[in-house]
Amino acid sequence: MPFPVELLTTPAECDTVLTALNQERRVFTVRDQVLDLQADQSADRATDRNQDLAAATASVTRLTPLVAGLTPGSAEHATLDRLLTRAQRRVEDLSTPAASAARTPTAAFLKAVDVRQVAVQVLELEAAIAEVTARRAAL
């Protein structure tokens, strides 16, 4: 459905509308880029978390038999036991789902709606700019 560009009767009106539309397109383009960046960072964080969990689990697996084979009270036992305890806590921390509201199904759904709205808005603004630009050229 075309925009009602016939309402614009002078090049000055077209210029005013184009300035406003271009500004709004810039805002939505930035929002689109921010949403893309957030999605990329979220995927990176999930990958990093999985890698950190695997490393911590490997440390627990490696340290458990070492600590069990050492004499309790020795310096080496104390040091490795601290490392094992730290690795076990890290595994627990990384295994516990984050309590972030952004990770709830409703938040994820609303984020998806926002992404689609921004994408559609940018396309609509570009269509409006093209129509007003054509109208201005026709005046």
* pLDDT over 70, % of the chain: 95
Give per-residue pLDDT as tens, 7-39: 999 999 999 999 999 999 999 889 888 888 877
Distance CA 15, CA 98 (A): 50
pLDDT of 103 reads 67
Q: Which long-range contacts (CB under 8 A, 24 or more apart) does 4-8 make?
A: 5/131, 5/132, 5/134, 5/135, 6/135, 8/132, 8/135, 8/136, 8/139
Positions in the chain whose pLDDT score sits under 70: 97-103
**What Å distances lie between residue 78 and 14, 55, 120, CA to CA?**
77, 21, 60
* pLDDT over 90, % of the chain: 38
Distance CA 83, CA 66 (A): 11
Going by C-alpha positions, the residue among 134, 44, 136, 57 that lies closest to residue 93 is 57
Going by C-alpha positions, the residue among 97, 124, 95, 100 that lies closest to residue 111 is 100
